[in-house]
Structure 1
Amino acid sequence: MTAFQLDVYQNEYLYEGAREVNAIVTVAATGGPAVAESGGPAAEVIIVDCSGSMHVPASKLAAAKAATAAAIDTLRDGVLFAVVAGTDTARVVYPPRAELVPANPTSRADAKAAVSRLRANGGTAMGAWLQLADALFVGQPTAMRHAILLTDGQNMHETPRQLSRTIKAVTGHFVCDCRGVGTDWEVKELREIATALLGTVDIVAEPAGLEADFRAMATAAMGKAVSDVSLRLWTPQGATVKFVKQVEPTLTDLTDRRVESAPRSGDYPTGSWGTETRDYHVCIEVNPAGVGDKMLAGRVSMVVPSTNEVVGKGQILAIWTDDTVLSTKISPEVAHYTGQAELAAAIQEGLEARKSGDVERATAKLGRAVALATESGHTDTVRLLDRVVDIDDPKTGTVRLKRNVAAVDEMTLDTRSTVTKRVGKNTAGG
């Protein structure tokens, strides 16, 4: 059985009249692999872009086939699976009928044989791909439902509104990790899918990198032991939840995903869990109390909605004080992840400004990103930024835009802007 431990990090002391309470909730799940290896229910759909552009170069489709075969080999016996070919429509490549079948030596071999016969022809309609995956998952409400979506191009055969409508319709039904191969796809499109479906998005610059990436995604999916876990937040009368965000390992705003579960309580989806740790930033606005008063500003727990079982809990406190030393102390965890969110926003806004030709704003935003990444020790992000700007002073964020930037460098920076760095817990703030 997967066990969840919740630790709350905050400075619970507020100055007189203060209303805003911030806390970082660290959720650690253990026991996942043992349960997963015992054959817990799981379902996997692999969606392969088979549009005409996958033939350019020819190595792209060949690499996608090899990657899909690697993912199929990673599925443990008994996992239900299917492979979908995506063009301006969607069709099930394996099995012969539009259904999920259990993985075993025979079905894996047959699936790989079917994948080897894939050809590239047609357009791109990712909404249709997601709809078919959703239909395949129907009837598996208790399984860990996971999809891999690979594309090399933009969603040309659907309007943005059509895609958004489909994403909204399938949200909460399965987790989807998205990958773009090459540089002709749109980061915003895949990010919209991955964010709504609680998955990841990344670039695979060269087709040769697909196989290892697919194997890693399938392995991670096989490590999940419990599906559809929610973070439940109770707040007192008169309080307002300003936001709930996952802040590690990636940034995902869950605020608008709240589902009311009881008076003054709401559930925020977190997807499937294996043995792993994630951090969440909770911000609550409460009615201020008098100096010396103490309030339970929030009660946070992890819940399996299908059974309403509470599998871990913690408390968020507020204590009002006239001691400025106490009230002005900043929780290092809250400060760290607030900076990480600002870093992601600065990168994305800077890249947008660069695309639109606003040199001044692009320089300011990307310079701020360099300073934040340097301050937080996010060395991988500094290296990615260094491919887009010339860094004169990393501490102050003094930069100059590079004249010529490779598309792959710009897209890699964009896709990985929401990947965060864990704060050390040896400086706990409360």
Structure 2
Amino acid sequence: MAKFSKSNVPQFSVDVYQNEYLPEGGREVNAVVTVTSTGGGTVGPGVTSPSGFGAGQAPDAAVAIMVDCSGSMDYPPTKMRNARDATAAAIDTLRDGVHFAVIGGTHVAKEVYPGDGRLAVAGPGTRQEARNALRKLAASGGTAIGTWLQLADRLLSSADVAIRHGILLTDGRNEHEAPGDLKAALDACAGRFTCDARGVGTDWEVKEVTGIASALLGTADIVADPSGLAEDFQHMMEEAMGKEVADVALRLWTPMDTEIAFVKQVAPTVEELTGRRTEAGPRAGDYPTGSWGDESRDYHVCVRVPAAGVGQEMLAARVSLVIPSAEGSPQTLAQGLVRAVWTDDMAASTTINPQVAHYTGQAELAQVIQEGLNARKAGDDDGATAKLGRAVQLADALGNEDTSKLLSKVVDVVDVAAGTVRLKKRVEDADEMTLETRSTKTVRVKK
């Protein structure tokens, strides 16, 4: 676990958006917590952070790139070539001083560069050596992603750095290890490094790739056309190079007789965090948020409070951003308060905060897309039509134009406002998989 001193942490802020008013006897308090981090670094080869964390120092990061080298990567042969080019583009984006390794993944994991159980340190010479080593990437064998992640963990943990990050590319299903083996690997790696996962082509399993990214607090996406891999890998590495602080937790403290109903990240993607709580002292729990650069994210927090009478008020929850510190006790980066006030003013108590309403709709949108696609695969056309119709209605109402475009490739829209649609008779695999993979991406509420 990385530790930080007060002088090298970007500035964090916490803003709470809620309607604190409850009717007499009301118990459920909803709030959207916006967390913003500023003061991040500049990305690119040979560039160190100009501000705050790492200024004038070698970058405090390690990256492992895991490339699928199973036999299917040779069909067509351009897929493997595109994967090599994409890995080279990612390596070229590394900042000088970043530790890195390249792993070839089949039914076993192999060190492609630098080898001998170690990490290389990025510089002009090692970047060229790594590009040369990419010629060793050849397609053969099966797919056992858990072994790739375990090797990445061993390599990344050998570096005394703050940020540990993985990039994983696969083109097929995880057929050469039991599902339990992959889950065990993810459980072992969770909290040790973050990982972005990409599926190339259309022969991979969406739930496997999104499950990897979710467990390791990274991003997931489809690259349907292998020719787009280099641009995507470069962008992923730029994002990774912009991270400056790891192990950030959202800490929620609640008073006696109060409980947390749920915690969800709701922007930039929907991510359920409730079950990831770790206890952090009396009536406090930590929810992991991963690594941060210059960015802002939104979280929906629902708290159940004891029923109370008109005129009473209470602190429902205290929200803090915390990280481990060199001194031992966690360092608090920012705080916000969630309040509850009981009133007999019906207009006040029934008004839904715009941020809460927006993200409640976004979470429902992600859910009905998944349910609709599952129903379609199961042959339940009526169920699929109803769910995807509701998705079309929600996406339009929420202003989620990207999701609306993806839905239009799966259904013919008859009436947007009413959510009336017809399932398309023919749907390209890439279009359905793109909708499923990106179903949790949200748009920010206009504040």
User: With structure 1 as the length reference, what TM-score do the two structures score?
Assistant: 0.97
Identity of aligned residues (%): 59
1:90–1:128 contact (8 Å) kept in structure 2: yes
1:181 matched to 2:200? The reply is yes
Q: Which residue of 1 aligns with 2:215?
A: 196
Q: Which amino acid aligns with 1:172?
A: G
Q: Which residue of 2 aligns with 1:292?
A: 311
2:62–2:161 contact (8 Å) kept in structure 1: no
Of residues 158-167 and 259-268 in structure 1, the stretch that sits farther from structure 2 once superposed is: 158-167
Task: Note the C-alpha offset of 1:367.
Answer: 0.3
2:368–2:391 contact (8 Å) kept in structure 1: yes
1:199-247 Cα shifts (integer Å, max 9, x gaps):
0110001011000000000000000111111111101111111111110
SS at match of 1:417: coil
Q: Which residue of 1 aligns with 2:130?
A: 111
Q: Measured at CA, do residues 223 and 364 of structure 1 come closer, stay the same or move farther in structure 2, by a change above 3 Å?
A: same
- The one of 251, 257, 267 equivalent to 2:270 is 251
* Separation (CA, whole Å) in 1 of partners of 2:216 and 2:117: 22
Q: Which amino acid aligns with 2:11?
A: A
SS at match of 2:280: strand
- The one of 149, 172, 178 equivalent to 2:168 is 149
1:36–1:224 contact (8 Å) kept in structure 2: no
2:194–2:218 contact (8 Å) kept in structure 1: yes
1:301–1:313 contact (8 Å) kept in structure 2: yes
Q: How big is the alpha-carbon RMSD for the aligned residues of Structure 1 and Structure 2? A: 1.0
1:96 matched to 2:110? The reply is no
Task: Note the C-alpha offset of 1:141.
Answer: 5.7
Q: Which residue of 1 aligns with 2:31?
A: 23
2:63–2:164 contact (8 Å) kept in structure 1: yes
User: With structure 2 as the length reference, what TM-score do the two structures score?
Assistant: 0.94
SS at match of 1:212: helix
1:363 matched to 2:404? The reply is no
SS at match of 1:32: coil
Q: Which residue of 2 aligns with 1:164?
A: 183
* Separation (CA, whole Å) in 2 of partners of 1:129 and 1:178: 12
SS at match of 1:185: coil
2:59–2:95 contact (8 Å) kept in structure 1: no
1:74-132 Cα shifts (integer Å, max 9, x gaps):
00011000000000000110003121121111111111100123110000000111111
Q: Which residue of 1 aligns with 2:3?
A: none
- The one of 354, 359, 381 equivalent to 1:337 is 359
1:122-163 Cα shifts (integer Å, max 9, x gaps):
000001111111111124464211100000000000121221
Task: Note the C-alpha offset of 1:270.
Answer: 0.5
* Separation (CA, whole Å) in 1 of partners of 2:347 and 2:297: 30
Structure 2 unaligned blocks of 5 or more: 1-8, 42-50
1:26–1:279 contact (8 Å) kept in structure 2: yes
1:142–1:227 contact (8 Å) kept in structure 2: no
Structure 1 unaligned blocks of 5 or more: 426-430
Q: Measured at CA, do residues 205 and 279 of structure 1 come closer, stay the same or move farther in structure 2, by a change above 3 Å?
A: same
Q: Which residue of 1 aligns with 2:296?
A: 277
* Separation (CA, whole Å) in 2 of partners of 1:375 and 1:141: 48
* Separation (CA, whole Å) in 1 of partners of 2:368 and 2:55: 41
Task: Note the C-alpha offset of 1:37.
Answer: 6.3
* Separation (CA, whole Å) in 1 of partners of 2:156 and 2:402: 37
Of residues 61-70 and 154-163 in structure 1, the stretch that sits farther from structure 2 once superposed is: 154-163
